[in-house]
Structure 1
């Protein structure tokens, strides 16, 4: 972002942190929770040539609730927070539902298992 006095550059790491914390808000997990660290790998950031932001999130949905509504809630929260804090345009928030689980604790376990599979 160019201004008369200079420019402001926001790193992808900052965008990822905003997206991650926004994701945790939907899951109702605090960033201090040790389980939240495992979920961080499920959030990815991509920049467009026009300096737009695309966010990718992989997660499980809680059983018994609307998967579409759950995904929309994640999309909305991430998009609003990034745009409000950075003034960058969020082009898309793509949510991939990988499974359905009973509780958010199981979501955390799944993230840990996925992490282990990717490392192999």
Structure 2
């Protein structure tokens, strides 16, 4: 992002951290939990040629809940937080649900 005074560059690692914390909010897990930190590897950041952001998330979902609603909640939270904090446009948040479980535990989401 260029401004009269200079430019601001936001790294992919910063975007990944925002997406990670937004993801944890939906899962209702704390970022301080050492097991939750393992989930960060399930998030990938891509940039389009226009410098828009694409976020890819792999997750398990809670059994008995609407998988579509669960995925939408993740998409919305990540997209809103990245756009609000960085003013970058989020082109897509792709959620891949790889399994369903009784209770979401950080260790179970590793792949």
Q: What TM-score do the two structures reach when normalised by structure 1?
A: 0.90
**Once the two structures are superposed, what CA deviation does each residue of 1:16-64 show, in whole Å capped at 9, x if it has no partner?**
0000000000000010011111101001000001010000000000000
CA distance in 1 between partners of 2:85 and 2:107 (Å): 31
TM-superposed CA distance for 1:83, in Å, is: 0.1
Unaligned runs of 5+ in 2: none
Instruction: Give the alignment's Cα RMSD to 1 decimal.
Output: 0.7
* Residue 41 of structure 1: aligned partner: 41
Q: Could you say which residue in structure 1 is the equivalent of 2:107?
A: 109
Instruction: Report the Cα offset of residue 111 of structure 1.
Output: 2.4
3-state SS of 1:104 partner: coil
**Deviant stretches of 4+, over 4 Å:** none
TM normalised by structure 2 equals: 0.98
Aligned length: 111
How far did residue 71 of structure 1 move?
0.1
Q: Which ranges of structure 1 fall in alignment gaps of 5 or more residues?
A: 115-120
More helix per residue: 1 or 2?
1
